[in-house]
Structure 1
Amino acid sequence: MATTKLLTGEQYLIQTVDKRIALTTHRLIQRQHPLSWRSSKAVMLEDIAAWEVKPTGSQVYLGLSVLTALLVYFNESFFLLSGFFISLFFMTRSQKVHVLTTQGHSMVLPLDVEQKHINSLIEMVKQAQQNRLKKLGIQKPVYNKTKAVAAVEGAMAAA
């Protein structure tokens, strides 16, 4: 199991094979890289407001493509190299799940799986969230993008 200490009355429901993501009765836990400063991030199930599935690619390939496109001015053969890097950018794109909370925070789940498995993960978390909300007796939170942006801007202004 993940090395995160569980809350009182909390139990594991499911965990990925590489132990990077765990779903408990109270939280969705993401375990970070072992050498990182924080060992894990967690979101309480009652705070999850929305999900977004976004395709993301490696920004390094996009930057290298732009850089080599600028070098076309000196030599026209850099045009082929620029095309190579842009094709690598599109070939390495994968689906990432962004969990949005009511406070405006976002947690990106490190998944490289097919769309049908992402949908089953989302449905499993939604079912655990409904059970948690029913147990607590509260309503499902609504994600308000303007409120989330205002909260982030307020936190940045305070810092």
Structure 2
Amino acid sequence: MATTKLQTGEQYLIQTVDKRIALTTHRLIQQRHPLSWRRTQAVKLEDIAAWEVKPTGSQLYLGLSMLTALLVYFNESFFLLSGFFIALFFMTRSQKVHVLTAQGQSMVLPLDVEQRHINSLIDMVRQAQQNRLDKLGMQKPVYNGAKATAVTSEPNAMAAA
């Protein structure tokens, strides 16, 4: 299991084989690179407001493409090299899961897995989140782009009209 200290009453539900992501009864924990300043990042399940699956590529290839595109001014053969780096940028894109919290923070999960496995992970976290919210008597927060708010049980004025 991960070396993260658990809170009182918290138990591990599931963990990846490489021990980089752990789901507990209270939190979603991400182990970072051993040389990073903060080794772990955790999000409480009741704070998770939304999920986004975004394709991301290596910014190094994009920067090298721009640099070689500027060198076309001196020699036209750099045009092919620029196109090569653009092709590498698009070929190395992978899908990353972004967990958005009610406070507007984001946590990027380091996953390079297929879409069906990402969906099963999201479903598993949603089920653990619902169990946690039921236990605390809270409602799921809603993410509104720039700012997230908690769902209230007030009746909608538009529905009454």
Q: TM-score, normalised by structure 2?
A: 0.90
Match of 2:97 in 1: 97
What SS does structure 2 have at the residue aligned with 1:142?
strand
More strand by share: 2
**Separation in 1, partners of 2:46, 2:67:** 45
Runs of 4+ residues deviating >2 angstroms = 144-148
Offset from partner CA, 1:110-152 (integer Å, 9 cap, x none)? 001111110110000000000000011111111122325xxxx
Match of 2:151 in 1: none
Structure 2 unaligned residues grouped into runs of 5+: 149-161
Offset from partner CA, 1:81-128 (integer Å, 9 cap, x none)? 001100000010000000000000000000011111101100000000
Match of 2:124 in 1: 124
- How many residue pairs align between the two structures? 148
Match of 1:135 in 2: 135
Match of 1:146 in 2: 146
Match of 2:110 in 1: 110
More helix by share: 1
**Separation in 1, partners of 2:64, 2:147:** 37
| Residue 39 of structure 1, CA deviation | 1.4
**Separation in 1, partners of 2:83, 2:143:** 39
Q: Is the contact made by 2:104 and 2:146 (CA closer than 8 Å) also made in structure 1?
A: no
Offset from partner CA, 1:27-51 (integer Å, 9 cap, x none)? 0000111111111000000000000
Which residue type is aligned with residue 23 of structure 2?
L
Structure 1 unaligned residues grouped into runs of 5+: 149-159
Cα RMSD of the aligned pairs, angstroms, is 0.8
Match of 1:157 in 2: none
